[in-house]
Amino acid sequence: MPGENAAPPPPAFPPPPLPEPSSKLPGPFAVLLVLLAVSILASVTLAVRIGDAERRAEDDRDRIIELQNQIDRLSDRAATPQPSGSAGPGSFGSSVIERIARAVEQLRGLKFSRGIAPEILTVEQLRARIEKSYEEDQSRAEVDAAGKTLTALGLLAPSASLHAILRDVGAEQIGGYYDDEEESLVIAGSVAALTPYDRILLAHELVHAVTDQHFGLDALGTLQDERKDDEATAYLSLVEGDATLMMFLYREQFLTTAERSKVDEEASRLTSPKLDAAPPIVRESLLFPYERGAQFVNALYQRGGTAEIDKAYRTPPSSTEQIMHPARFFTRDDPQPVVLPDVAASLGQGWRRIDGGGIGEFDVLLIADEYLPESDAREAAAGWDGGRYETYESSKGTLVAVSTIWDSADEARQAAESLTDWLRPRFGGEGSGYRDGAASGWQAPSGAAEVLRDGTRVMLLVGPDRASVAAARRAF
């Protein structure tokens, strides 16, 4: 992952099942397929022969790979260890790492313009560095404000600390990371004793390194700074999906059958109690770039190979909608800009804005899925075409204003109806519903919320009481 982050968390590995990359069959195999259609008996005979040939080819491939592994291990033992950063241009500081880098070049269709000598740390050292970087790089005020937004929407328990959850999950099962700002690669373990699992994680990070050298990955930081949250998630999904797909292909093409079994065994032993215990909004948001990102990049790969992935870096996806529905990326169904009115002015004195950003189809899905059946949640999110939110705070509590736009009035109506159904379970069934003009509301001892639709626009307001929500509604 670019930046101070870990390699894919265990629940995202192995990558989701992906269709085999499409390719043209060599001439002899195309002829065999024609013959197979002529005779059932011939098809059985040919299938047996082809199976035998494939097994022999697989055995030969495994022997070649294992021989190269032995050569690498002998070479690494004989080599004098180099300090971090001492490798010259084009060097990766180790024969095994060099070979993984060359494999990545082959798979990704990109050449490294300069080598990267990985810094090797123990797991404990790497975890300590991740935690230290997290504390230094994350604004506690911004994370706490985001926590208050999630709490108001019923996605985070009032007693939970989002800051602590993200810190603990981020430091769990660290394998390594690529820092695009420092252009450095850090991995845990020993180069001389890299397991097959270590090697595929290293391949993942080297994909980040080579794409950074060709396209630059700093766009992510810019989008995050501008609070284009949904667009940032979409871009991260491209980056992580690319590395995850290539990691999958590396596993299939550059590991022996026995090594792949070892990868599966090691992955099955890994646990992630912090991630497993995290609220669904946190867990699903962290996994989305890897799982859905890999599926998105695979759609690109099926369409035009690595050249199509390269094109996506030049004109990146602009929404999680495009990640979830690649056809909308191919047609460039970009979201409409949404600007919220001056809610603070309607709320009056004592209120201040503490948070705000973009909200995409994936966000709407997560919000709805927390309290509605999955099918209803998907209906609520379908047809999204843009969204923003802002969060305000006063001595009364926290108020969140969400404004979304939809592809059609019918889809906006469906979203509004689903969100209206969401109100009661959001407050645990306590309280009662009400109508106030065009708004459908719910009030309870713990707060109030309203849903309002105007054509293709849907507003969701959640606050500490009905009076505050009604005041915010006047801004719309």
Question: How confident is the model over 85-130, as pLDDT tens digits?
Answer: 333 334 565 688 889 999 999 999 999 998 887 788 888 888 888 8
Judge if 296 and 382 occupy the same domain: no
Residues 6+ apart with CB under 8 A from 433: 423, 424, 440, 441, 442
Q: Under DSSP, is residue 434 helix (H, G, I), strand (E, B) or coil?
A: strand
Judge if 266 and 376 occupy the same domain: no
Judge if 349 and 316 occupy the same domain: no
Asked if residue 162 belongs to a domain, the reply is yes
The CATH number of whichever domain residue 394 belongs to comes to 3.40.1000.70
Q: What angle do CA 176, 180, 186 make, to 5 degrees?
A: 25
Domain boundaries, position 350: 343-473
pLDDT score at 67 = 55
Asked whether residue 40 carries a pLDDT value surpassing 90, the answer given is no
> How far lies 235's CA from each of 24, 63, 189, 219, 230, in Å?
31, 40, 30, 8, 9
% of residues, the chain, pLDDT over 70: 79
DSSP H or E stretch at residue 364: helix 361-369
Q: Under DSSP, is residue 382 helix (H, G, I), strand (E, B) or coil?
A: coil
Beta bridge partners of 447: 444
pLDDT score at 49 = 39
Asked if residue 3 belongs to a domain, the reply is no
Judge if 180 and 131 occupy the same domain: yes
- How far is Cα 326 from Cα 320, in angstroms, rounded to an integer? 10
pLDDT score at 136 = 81
Judge if 298 and 391 occupy the same domain: no
Asked whether residue 265 carries a pLDDT value surpassing 50, the answer given is yes
pLDDT score at 158 = 95
pLDDT score at 48 = 39
Asked whether residue 337 carries a pLDDT value surpassing 80, the answer given is yes
Asked whether residue 53 carries a pLDDT value surpassing 50, the answer given is no
Judge if 319 and 406 occupy the same domain: no
Judge if 385 and 427 occupy the same domain: yes
Task: Identify the CA nearest to 449 among candidates 433, 430, 428, 429.
Answer: 433
Judge if 202 and 349 occupy the same domain: no
Q: Under DSSP, is residue 449 helix (H, G, I), strand (E, B) or coil?
A: strand
Asked if residue 32 belongs to a domain, the reply is no
Asked if residue 41 belongs to a domain, the reply is no
> How far lies 65's CA from each of 58, 109, 190, 423, in Å?
10, 21, 20, 58
**Mean pLDDT score, 425-449:** 96
Judge if 311 and 351 occupy the same domain: no
Residue type, 204: H
Last residue within a domain, chosen from 305, 330, 355: 330
pTM for the model: 0.82
Alpha-carbon 139 to chain mean position: 21
Last residue within a domain, chosen from 330, 357, 379: 330
Q: Provide the number of structural domains found in the chain.
A: 2
Asked whether residue 32 carries a pLDDT value surpassing 60, the answer given is no
Residues 6+ apart with CB under 8 A from 364: 380, 381, 384, 387, 404, 415
Last residue within a domain, chosen from 304, 330, 356: 330
Q: What is the pLDDT of residues 137-180, one digit of tens each?
A: 778 899 999 999 999 999 999 999 999 999 888 877 667 788 88
Asked if residue 102 belongs to a domain, the reply is yes
User: Which DSSP symbol is given to 335?
Assistant: P
- How far is Cα 400 from Cα 461, in angstroms, rounded to an integer? 6
Asked if residue 325 belongs to a domain, the reply is yes
- Least confident segment among 111-120, 183-192, 340-349: 183-192
pLDDT score at 59 = 56
- Least confident segment among 231-235, 262-266, 386-390: 262-266
Q: Which residue has the higher pLDDT, 96 or 420?
A: 420
**Mean pLDDT score, 201-228:** 93
Asked whether residue 76 carries a pLDDT value surpassing 70, the answer given is no
Asked if residue 29 belongs to a domain, the reply is no
Q: What is the pLDDT of residues 357-412, one digit of tens each?
A: 999 999 999 999 999 999 999 989 999 999 999 999 999 999 999 999 999 999 99
Task: Identify the CA nearest to 227 among candidates 339, 334, 148, 333.
Answer: 339
- How far is Cα 96 from Cα 71, in angstroms, rounded to an integer? 9
Judge if 322 and 360 occupy the same domain: no
pLDDT band at 222 (very low <50, low <70, confident <90, very high): very high
Judge if 203 and 92 occupy the same domain: yes
Judge if 228 and 286 occupy the same domain: yes
**Mean pLDDT score, 441-451:** 97
Q: Which residue has the higher pLDDT, 427 or 41?
A: 427
Asked if residue 295 belongs to a domain, the reply is yes
Asked whether residue 34 carries a pLDDT value surpassing 80, the answer given is no
Q: Which residues of 166-198 are buried (b: 16+ CB within 10 A; e: fewer)?
A: bbbbbbbbbbbbbbbeeebbbbbbebeebebbb
Residue 342: HSE in the Cβ half-sphere, 13 Å Cα cutoff:
3
> How far lies 101's CA from each of 95, 109, 110, in Å?
10, 12, 10
- How far is Cα 50 from Cα 263, in angstroms, rounded to an integer? 27
